[in-house]
Amino acid sequence: MPTYVYEVVLEGGEPGQQFEVEQRMADAPLAKHPTTGQPVRRVFQPPNLPKKWTDRQAKNMLSGDNVAKHGLTRYERGADGKYVKTAGSGPDSIAGGQ
């Protein structure tokens, strides 16, 4: 459910205290403060859009092709404790520390 920001409308139309309420998008905007009963209005906020660092971006940056392209080697630990190369040009495996 989205979180909406509301503010209390003081006498003369001045903005008052702000508060957040979780509401369904289909719900009507609040007209009164839930506890004090004062008149309120919804405050529009900028959307929270993913920018440079998203889960997809992180996954792409850590992909085998990208790791090898940047001259790095990636290893994953196997069940036997050895690390096996999954990307890059290093040794095929290295022993795991015990």
pLDDT score of 98: 53
Q: Mean per-residue pLDDT for 77-97?
A: 86
* CA 7 to chain centroid: 26
pLDDT score of 7: 97
The Cα 71–Cα 34 span in angstroms is 58
Is residue 59 over pLDDT 70? yes
Provide the pLDDT confidence category of residue 8 given band limits of 50, 70 and 90: very high
Question: Which of the pair, 53 or 17, is modelled with greater confidence?
Answer: 17
Question: Pairing state of beta strands 93-94 and 3-9?
Answer: unpaired
pLDDT score of 19: 96
> Where do the H-state alpha helices sit in 1-98?
55-61, 64-69
